[in-house]
Structure 1
Amino acid sequence: MNLSIIIPLFNEEESLPELSEWITRVVEANNLTYEVIMVDDGSTDNSWQVVEHIAAKNQYFKGIRFQRNYGKSAALNEGFLAAQGDVVITMDADLQDSPDEIPALYNMIAEDGYDLVSGWKKKRYDNALTKNLPSKVYNGVSRKISGIPLHDFNCGLKSYRKKVVKSIEVYGEMHRYIPVIAKWAGFKKIGEKVVEHRPRKYGVTKFGWERFLNGFLDLTTITFVSRFSKRPMHFFGMYGTLFFFIGSVIFVYLIIAKIVDVDFALTNRPSFYIALVAMILGMQLFLTGFLAEMISRNSSERNNYLVEDKIGLR
């Protein structure tokens, strides 16, 4: 199978018939064998009934329905598990992502050899103050921390090589950082394509201001887990040693000053308490790293690695 298209949705009953017809026209015009997996994230309207109707008319459309709302990351993860296509494309269900972008995104994976291609909605129709400005700040910080030169990390329109989606796990609200997760899993060829952003035709947006705060917290989590999950002592031990060293140096200085000048009021100095706090914090960080290292060494996944290829071995 050439292509799997995964569409997470929540209360999008109005847009689904038009979206399904549009996708069908595009993929059939390009002679692609395909499947479309619609993941209903606990909709409270008639979205699932619409999905059932679409699947009854077209055998290439499939559906997954959550019992309750788990979030976009959970919907994408279930779609990734079910996908069978050599190339996997994700897109939103609200018609703001154009299915006309599918052939180009497919070719960038199948022919140009990219592992992952992220859409960039260069011209947007969202509110400039409540969405565009925070989005620019959010993407700028994400680029700086991750080192991935993408302009739009949160664009729902992305394409993947099959091995990418089968090698990563998306949970919580980590869908914003799939390129980061893929990079830390060892997939280095990450590209970007300018895509059309269409005005919302039906319904209302499902995202609020809290997604930006959650996004930065998620990026911190991904960066830490990706770099230090198998060696937590390298993080906690390094900073623990640094704080303890700083505290010790200050403390030694104060002791010497006390020896030189017996009238030197040791405990009346702010530096005394700074040294004390630094040493205690250093010991706590070091012990945290030691305990995390013990837990990591007993993890069932401590020696799980992604292998690209083998020669002469099964």
Structure 2
Amino acid sequence: MDILDKLIKFAQISGSINIQCKLQDSWYIRHERQTYHGIVHIVSQGEGYLHIDGMVNAIKLKANDVVFLPHSLGHTLTHQPNYKGPSKINIISNGAFTLKRCGGESPDFSLFCANFTYDKQSELFNNLPEVILLNLQDAALKPVLDILQREAEDYQPGSANIINALLSVLLTLLIRTYLQQDNAQLNGLLNGLRDKRLYNVISNIIAKPEQAWKIETLCHIANLSKAQLIRLFNQQLGVSPYNFVNHIRLQKAGELLKHSQQSVLSIALNCGFQSESNFGKAFKKYYQLTPGQYRKK
């Protein structure tokens, strides 16, 4: 399993591509910010404008554009720049989708929307920028849009399962495409992965966080002195090597608590902790919940 696969697994994503909008004439749709929540808008037809909280100028959107908001930043979609509404949006059930319609039967602007949540400590999502703008052609996502349109136009048994399964494909392709861009604005772990001196160290830790990592071993992998390694981790990731190992262990533990039937003791040992007591203290400090509370939440 590669780094991105691991980080997506630790992120514990849940949600679906569950909304289709068909908008005509004057329209205004508002989305408020939510914590540990992301939104993706996929424009399938027409042109519109995206107003993001804190940004002065609106962004013009056109067919095949993708707006990826990893932190669900507050924003508004409108038919013209600076339009404040109101708009009468009719909401109806349409097969596997919730359809939001404004105006007549021939929309000027159409899009699909994905809503998803993720673990509050996700190294992947917490280190992505507030706004990522891509195009379907750049992200090799055109087949995803084709499937969504087909399922929306012709509801068939199993449609909900198909479009929900597409969420993982959609997010993986979006993130992979963005990470490959030279001008990608990344923080923390994702920024550290771009440093060739740290890449192998980070990769090894993510692959086997339960291993008894010693600073000498990490220095050997990076071919750096102890002082150099600690300095680079603090510069690029904002944490020490020790804290990074601990964070990844706890994220693995969080994923196992939610998605396995293992006991807390077994999870503690499988994630590199020496005792259930030590694990419990570290977990509560990191998540502000005990392992049992986290599992039940």
Task: Looking at secondary structure, tell me which structure has more helix per residue.
Answer: 1
TM-score normalised by structure 2 residue count: 0.32
Task: Looking at secondary structure, tell me which structure has more strand per residue.
Answer: 2
